């Protein structure tokens, strides 16, 4: 049963193109809104577990990262013995995308799902750690450009989403972060969020 994403297809090219054509609608606050889209999944995990931690990284090259300590993205073995990850990046979230009133993010705009982040990023690398293994995959404009690759387990679980938003969205500003953090605590009390600003200067 498909609950959040349709496992029958790994990439919905039309869906991704639709997002790319309308960046103002799907990233109304620029890159900070994309961070919130990723954090919302970490908040889901934290709510289910009773608590969770997350680090938002601001990098010198204009990229952003969100690392959480949840269970990791659902990854299964298919009938051919291959690892298959839930297609969270390249297909729509069935709960939210077509239902903008279903959930509102802390910035007051609708939650649409992780595909918005992938589609509106020049590149995105998703590293996923679960109890039964760890994997990584790279996307460009929402489309996977590598296979799902196994990586060495480090004994932890969780996800790391590292992405560089499209330059047309502009940078994440200090004021967006400062204004946004108090709202995160109010909206997601089970999730502890720390910001690691590595941009210098």
pLDDT tens-place string over residues 157-188? 999 999 999 999 999 988 888 888 999 999 99
Q: Are 133 and 139 in contact (CB under 8 A)?
A: no
What tokens were used for 48? 């289910």
Q: Report the pLDDT value the prediction gives residue 77, as an integer from 0 to 100.
A: 82
pLDDT tens-place string over residues 6-58? 888 789 999 999 999 999 999 998 999 999 999 999 999 999 999 999 999 99
Q: What is the distance between the alpha carbons of residues 189 and 191, in angstroms, rounded to a whole number?
A: 6
Q: What is the pTM of this model?
A: 0.94
Strands 52-58, 133-140: pairing is unpaired
Q: Report the pLDDT value the prediction gives residue 39, as an integer from 0 to 100.
A: 97
Mean pLDDT for the chain? 93
Predicted confidence band at 200 (pLDDT cuts at 50, 70, 90)? confident
What tokens were used for 53? 């931690």
Predicted confidence band at 129 (pLDDT cuts at 50, 70, 90)? very high
Q: What is the distance between the alpha carbons of residues 193 and 189, in angstroms, rounded to a whole number?
A: 10
3-state DSSP helix/strand/coil percent for the chain, to nearest 5?
A: 25, 30, 45
DSSP reduced 3-state for 196: strand
Residue 24: phi and psi, rounded to 5, are: -65, -35
Average pLDDT over residues 91-118: 95
């Amino acid at each position: 049963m498909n609950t959040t994403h349709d496992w029958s297809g790994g990439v919905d090219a039309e869906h991704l193109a639709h997002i790319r054509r309308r960046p103002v609608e799907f990233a109304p606050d620029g890159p900070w809104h994309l961070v919130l889209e990723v954090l919302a999944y970490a908040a889901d995990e934290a709510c289910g577990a009773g608590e969770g931690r997350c680090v938002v990284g601001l990098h010198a090259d204009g990229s952003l990262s969100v690392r959480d300590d949840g269970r990791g993205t659902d990854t299964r073995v298919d009938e051919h013995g291959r690892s298959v990850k839930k297609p969270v990046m390249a297909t729509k979230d069935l709960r939210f995308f077509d239902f903008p009133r279903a959930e509102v993010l802390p910035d007051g705009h609708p939650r649409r799902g992780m595909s918005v982040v992938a589609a509106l990023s020049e590149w995105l690398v998703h590293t996923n750690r679960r109890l039964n293994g760890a994997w990584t995959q790279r996307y460009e404009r929402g489309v996977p450009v590598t296979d799902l690759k196994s990586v060495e387990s480090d004994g932890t679980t969780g996800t790391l989403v590292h992405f560089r938003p499209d330059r047309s969205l502009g940078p994440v500003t200090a004021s967006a972060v400062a204004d946004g953090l108090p709202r995160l605590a109010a909206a997601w009390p089970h999730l502890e969020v720390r910001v690691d600003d590595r941009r210098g200067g």
